Amino acid sequence: MLELIICSLVTILPDYLLRRKFQDKRWGREINFFTVWYELRWGITLCAMLTISLITVVFYYHPQTKNVSSYFRTVTILSESAGRVAEVYVENNSEVSAGDRIFRLDSTRQEAALETAMRQIEEVDASLALAQSDRAAAEAAVDQAQAALTQTTDDLERQRSLFERGSSAVSERDVEILENERDVRQGALDAAYAGIDAVEANITVLLPARRASAEAALEQAEVELDKMTVYAGTDAVVEQFALQVGDIVNPILRPAGILVPRGSGSGRFQAGFSQISTQVVKPGGVAEITCISKPFTIIPMVITGVQDVIAAGQIRPSDRLVDPQNQGAPGSVTVFMEPIYPGQTDDIPPGSRCVANAYTSFHAQLEDPDTDLGFLTRVSMHVVDTVGLVHAAGLRIQSLLLPLQTLVLTGH
């Protein structure tokens, strides 16, 4: 409508003034509702052509969108396992810091597992103390076997010496008996040493392994017990939290609530522009927004990034081929914007709906002396920069009419 009014001022109005001056045709006499098209056909035709051209140039080089919002991240409050709530530490809409407790599930089973793991460690420690006593007994058995072997060896040497000298007091049978007894004593000594090795293996290998397993079981029990308490992972505000003692929480079907991280979505806006604006909306460009949560205010923005893919084209692997004919809306180009002056969007709640204008500016190219531009190119650039005022004026009119549309016309 604004474009039509502006174009009519330079087409229809001069046509009417010329006909009034030179042909003495006035509105209400020669020019009325039935003859206006014939009398002012040149002005109306030029007005239509100029309006269409102006609208095309304005909306292409200075696109507008109503799909603007400051999206924010939410974190679901979930426990890692299902259970019944035993304690609740926070209330809805309360602020929490990272590490604060939110609620605790009943942990009777986990506490029993922790107690069992602690008793297992004590049992291994007792077995280790008993193994120390067994090692002392095994060492004593070695000493006893060594002494018996030494005594038998001495007797054998004495009897063998007498037998070799031909003494009638010692027979060959007596020497053989002592030799067999020596072998028995030697076997007993080897068995005693093997007993020491078995006790040492029990002390240095088996029991430490059992204690390590018991400590691992204790650590696992402590972890499982800690999981029964749900903590806040970030500084946030608790929302949609109505948990009561005795409620059942399930990580799949029944989350406890939502955390809204502090600062999430603040000062950063996402806008969805038409795909035809892809070539003119670039990082570093200037934009303006007005939000329904902050009426009568125009906020200058800078485009910080443009998403290099269009969300409507994403697919997921499945057992069916994707047919482009079955796709829905063509999708929009996602643009990220931030305020030029810090603090201007601090009082705009994240998630607010806004209207945005993006502007194309050739000022840098026109002022660059090293850029070789033709006359028509310079004129067209000046025209593009100038018609941006039309869209800027339109955004300000929308900002003024936004409360009226919201409160009166829609009743929201």
- 5: its two tokens: 């009014």
Contact 302, 288 (CB under 8 A): no
* pLDDT value at residue 167: 61
* pLDDT value at residue 169: 59
Q: What is the pTM of this model?
A: 0.68
* pLDDT value at residue 73: 86
* pLDDT value at residue 369: 79
- 288: its two tokens: 């303006």
* pLDDT value at residue 289: 92
The amino acid at 164: E
E strand segments, 93-251: 95-96, 101-105, 229-231, 236-239, 248-249
Rounded to whole angstroms, the Cα distance separating 137 from 125 reads 19
Please, what are the averages of pLDDT over each run of 10 residues along the chain (412 residues)? 74 77 75 73 83 83 89 86 88 89 89 88 82 74 74 70 63 68 75 75 78 87 87 89 86 83 85 89 91 89 90 80 77 90 87 90 81 83 84 87 78 56
Contact 110, 224 (CB under 8 A): yes
CA atoms within 13 A on the CB side of 51: 17
The amino acid at 59: F
Q: What are phi and psi of 154, to 5 degrees?
A: -65, -45
DSSP 157-174: HHHHHHHHTT-TT--HHH
The pairing of beta strand 294-306 with beta strand 286-291: antiparallel
DSSP 310-356: -GGG-----SS---GGG--S---EEEEEEESSTTTTTTS-TT-EEEE
Rounded to whole angstroms, the Cα distance separating 176 from 250 reads 83
